[in-house]
Chains A and B, each alone.
Chain A
Amino acid sequence: MDRAEVDAKIREIAEPFNKKGVTITEDTSFQNDLEFDSLTVMDFVAEIEDEFDIIISMNQQAEIEKYGQLVDAVTKMQAD
């Protein structure tokens, strides 16, 4: 899957978690813009992990603040 396809898939997964309907760009922050709390993060990450059959450990999550960083990380992980 290339980056654009990963992006489209993650956008689809993010949709139900985006309660306030924030417009998601590469720079959208999960904590500040989307206001995800720790439980939401867990459910959101679990869905991405299941979709791409990968693990995003909490150590890796700590490096991901913005939407674009997540797409980059997942694109790389599912290619490995």
Chain B
Amino acid sequence: MSEGISQPDQPQTLEGHKGDKDLFSKFDDIIAMRQGLLDSGVEDPFNLVMEKVLSPTRAICNGRETILLGTYNYMGMTFDPDVVEAGKQALADFGSGTTGSRVLNGTYQGHKDVEEALKDFYDMDHAMVFSTGYQANLGIISTIAGKGDYIVLDIDSHASIWDGCAMGNAEVVPFKHNDIEAMEKRLRRIPGDAGKLVILEGVYSMLGDVAPLKEMIAVAKKYGAMVLVDEAHSMGFIGENGRGVVESAGVIDDVDFIIGTFSKSVGTVGGFCVSNHPKFEIMRLVCRPYVFTASLPPSVVATACTSIRKLMHGSNKRAHLWENSKNLHKGLKDLGFQLGTEEPQSAIIAVIMPDLQQGAAMWEALIQNGLYVNLARPPATPANMTLLRCSLCAEHSEEEVGEILEIFEKSGKAVGII
């Protein structure tokens, strides 16, 4: 699941109103819900503007200096001097954009270099770079699982996974979140000769919980399914080499495809798929979201390449990020907040709010006290929870985590949640 403000990750069909209304009438309920929230007088949680970005962890938001605790800048690479310099150089040498598809005039040296960096990072044979992480899921899933094939996936999957399923026309069979038995039952009932793809995520971004990949992938392989794992929220800091939950669970060799993004730990924008499948390169010709769009600008692939190579040697930053996650989790728990996971499992810590009204009030109190977190609300959340999602950065100092906890205490008491 993801940060959809007013829509679930799993696509829905909205009923059009008949009669004197127009095509926008189907959005009336959403418009009313949003208006209701704003009329209650809170600062709009979905209209924040960062006027100035001071560092990976600080910005001027709506006129106030703010600690950022709701970005996906896990490894704090956005202002890394080497990364910035690589981008500037590529901008000077190769210009502002490629103005073409990867398969026509849009493959520059930088695109090949970043794919080499990914192959080295994951120690895999093939890497394919897309213009966004969304397109990587959309493209790979819709291309490999077509009509008559079966996709078995976790019900809490990200919107890009659901959209890839819909676009490919495969039979889509969801199972209860992280439920190994429910997954196995579904795989067992699929006709033996049908093509099967199991889709999992390493870290689920709403609660920051990790999937039991070791058990799940063993089950998938038992039934002859191919396995795709989205590791968007783990790259760079989970697993010995930062390759994700697949690495920490010791199952990276059993995974057919890993999907990832440049817009989180890598610190820019773009998406990718890495694989050891011997026929993988054919994807470049048959995958429509790869072919029918412009490639990433030279400066973006240069920053991504430099950042990925630096992440390979990021063990100190990685260790500090984990310390931050543990400190924040313990601090919030001690203050009496209800958290999404019993133990910290990733760099995301979700604070569960009693309801949307109090969640919005708490979000507003935090932002006014100089702390930005992510407000996640139904229907984009599991079990219709309202969450304040905190995502940590390796560049948050120990003192900053202390400051964050003070703001949470002050705001929580003011709103009456603790």
A interface residue numbers (CB < 8 A to B): 37-39, 42-43, 46, 49-50, 53-55, 57-60
Q: Which 6 A-B pairs give the minimum distances between C-beta atoms?
A: A57-B171, A58-B172, A55-B189, A57-B173, A42-B155, A59-B171
Contact call A54/B150, Cβ cutoff below 8 A: no
Enumerate 30 A-B pairs (CB-CB under 8 Å) in ascending A order: A37-B379, A37-B384, A38-B8, A38-B10, A38-B12, A38-B379, A39-B383, A39-B384, A42-B155, A43-B176, A46-B175, A46-B176, A49-B185, A49-B189, A50-B185, A53-B189, A54-B189, A55-B171, A55-B173, A55-B186, A55-B189, A55-B190, A57-B150, A57-B173, A58-B171, A58-B172, A58-B173, A59-B171, A59-B172, A60-B171
Q: Does B182 contact A (CB under 8 A)?
A: yes
CB of B174 closer than 8 Å to a CB of A: yes
Give B74-122 interface residues, CB cut-off 8 Å to A.
none
In whole Å, how far is A31's beta carbon from the nearest beta carbon of chain B? 9
Chain A residues within an 8 Å CB radius of B175: 46
Smallest CB-CB separation from B179: which chain A residue?
A: A46
Residues on the A chain within 8 Å of B155, using CB: 39, 42
| Residues A46 and B173 in contact in the complex (CB < 8 Å), given A38-B8, A38-B10, A39-B383 | no
Q: A4–B48 Cα gap in the complex (Å)?
A: 57
Question: Which B residues form the contact surface with A (CB < 8 A)?
Answer: 8, 10, 12, 150, 155, 171-176, 182, 185-186, 189-190, 379, 383-384
Q: Which residues of A contact B150 (CB under 8 A)?
A: 57
For the complex with contacts A55-B186, A58-B173, 12 further pairs of A-B residues with Cβ separation under 8 Å are: A37-B384, A38-B8, A38-B379, A46-B182, A49-B185, A49-B186, A53-B189, A55-B171, A55-B189, A55-B190, A58-B171, A58-B174
Known: A50-B185, A57-B150. A42 touches B172 (CB 8 A): no
List chain B residues, Cβ under 8 A from A58.
Answer: 171-174
Complex contacts, B172 vs chain A, CB 8 Å:
57-59
Q: Is the interface of B mostly helix, strand, loop or mixed?
A: mixed
A23 to B150, CA, bound (A): 35
A6–B186 CA distance with the chains assembled, in angstroms: 20
Q: Known contacts A49-B189, A53-B189, A55-B186: does B173 contact A42 (CB below 8 Å)?
A: no
Question: Which residues on the A side are within 8 Å of B186 (C-beta)?
Answer: 49, 55
Q: How far is the CB of B346 from chain A (nearest CB, A)?
A: 23
Q: Tell me the smallest distance from the CB of A13 to a CB of chain B, in Å.
A: 16
Closest to B382 in A: A39
Q: A46 CA to B173 CA in the complex, in Å?
A: 10
Q: Which of B150, B173, B175 has the most CB of A within 10 A?
A: B173
Interfacial chain A residues near B190, Cβ < 8 Å = 55
Q: Which residue of B lies closest to A54 (CB)?
A: B189
In angstroms, Cα B384 to Cα A30, docked, is 19
Question: Please, which residue of chain A has its CB at the minimum distance from the CB of B186?
Answer: A55
* Distance of A46 Cα from B175 Cα, bound (Å): 8
CB-CB < 8 A to A50: which residues of B?
185
Query: Which of A49, A50, A57 has its CB near the most chain B CB atoms (within 10 A)?
Result: A57
- Point out the residues of chain A lying under 8 angstroms from B12, CB to CB: 38
Query: B383 contacts which chain A residues (CB < 8 A)?
Result: 39
Which of B174, B175, B185, B384 has the largest number of chain A CB atoms within 10 A?
B174
